[in-house]
Structure 1
Amino acid sequence: MTTHKKIRKAVFPVAGLGTRFLPATKAIPKELLPIVDRPLIQYAVEEAREAGIEQMIFVTGRGKTAIVEHFDMAYELEATMSARGKDMSALDATRATPGDIITVRQQVPLGLGHAIWCARAIVGDEPFAILLPDEMMIGTPGCMAQMVEAYNAVGGNLISVLEVPREEVSSYGVIDPGATLENFGGALTEVRGLVEKPPVAEAPSNKIISGRYILQPEVMRTLENQEKGAGGEIQLTDAMARMIGTQPFHAVTFAGDRYDCGSKVGFVEATLALALAREDMGAEVRAMAERLLRA
């Protein structure tokens, strides 16, 4: 049985300005906006930890220091809560041990590919994960845990995909699928190509790229010489497309729910869905929603 290098590191591109959510994001990073009672970035970090990832690499920009502080110790808060006998469990998932979280700065917003490249010195010569916090993936196990399981079997590069109605494919990056690995129950598919926002009639499939990646370190060298693509930015999709055929490349069809929290409607949907699923508030939220719908 082939042993593949363990996925120990994950990159979180969090340098974006969050302009879709202004004025809320004028002083607060978009990644700290709460879904019920946890900020968006915390869901992504917890997903990575569940998958066995040990080091979180935040690619930040100006005004994003609060993201790191969220995972730091809050001595005054914790001391006050402890003295008053308050339940401290809500803070447990926000604590990081030394070395768990590292930040690098993307000084110029040149695209997702450039943000990933900014983490090259920390990633080194190891395969690594990428999680886009805007893409909220809820499942049991989580999306990254499903991908790590597949990676341990086949190695190489992997991306998460979801099937969408055919008429929606022109809004996304789409894979050109090859053979399906039957021993994975149809969830693992060979990737022969990547097409960015194809016309519906020309789309090679209805499987869209959905914000989770496991990539080999060679992608950093590809990105180093990458020319600007769509939108005048350095695109990660372009770099991945150049690696197809030189290394194994597969897509994992995520078994779970995805919420596009980069849009206001998706953000509200995620908040409502997670609130409804909570034992401590689900019934009340459902009654409230039904009441509002009757109004």
Structure 2
Amino acid sequence: MSGNPSIEDRDELDRRVRAIRWDDKAVEFGSPQRCRVAAMMVESGLVGGRLRRVFPSRDQWEAMTEYTTTKIAEKIIGVGLGSKTSQWNWGGLWNPREESSFSGWVRQLAYTVARTNARRVLHSAHELSASRFEDEDGYNPVWDDKASTPLNAGTETGGPFDTVPGLTVPRPIGADRRLLTRILTDSGAEAMADRARTMGWWHRTLDGLDAGVCAALLLQPVSRRLKGVLPRMLPDMADVAGLYEATQMSSDPRDVAPLRRAVAREARRLGCVEWDVWCRLGTAAARLAVG
């Protein structure tokens, strides 16, 4: 979903959220399931669609959409992504066991949060450079291929993590990620997938998926609005997850040597091979990137 989601899109998002098994572990703040729902919310475009008429100026709309999306993600995950949690109304956080529409809750909250904070946020934004309004979601024409089906568009069969048991995604980093992205742009998803296999950024669970889906799983950037979520998804390796997270966004760091050293240390600590750490990091990032 993108732009202003239709009623059908919103119904499908509600279905996907309800389909998650909300046991006691999943309901806990900071759980992978809550993080996954936050990613779905970001990718759905619900917040931007709700605020488009409220803020007709593009700069204002972009600033308020970014601010409001982050605030709602915090309420879904139950973890601060920049806010001081000591000031939170914990009773106002999202309850996944409520029967009400998730999409309806997001849309209503988006309007309230945006209107309440508009004066302060837009005053601050006015004092910043124009770069403040650049797309931070990693937009790339690669993902606008009209011949392909958007990965985050709802279907009855669900997304790849719903349909492929044990799906594992070793997402590339650094120069390898940039090279594979260029191949995807210049030569298409099939060529990118072939090269990813030879470079070692591949797992057998990807074999049965469409090349375009594999491209998104491996390369689609994690939204910067979800910065800080990946370490929360992997609390037992939060430090290395924080380093890895930066490599999976639209502006990845050039120097990945610190990350490689951190992965090696983590593998020694866990008593496993480094490949297992890369796969765990990449799979969590793929869940955030594609929802």
Same fold (TM over 0.5): no
User: What TM-score does the superposition give when structure 1 sets the normalisation length?
Assistant: 0.29
What TM-score does the superposition give when structure 2 sets the normalisation length?
0.29
Structure having the higher strand fraction is 1
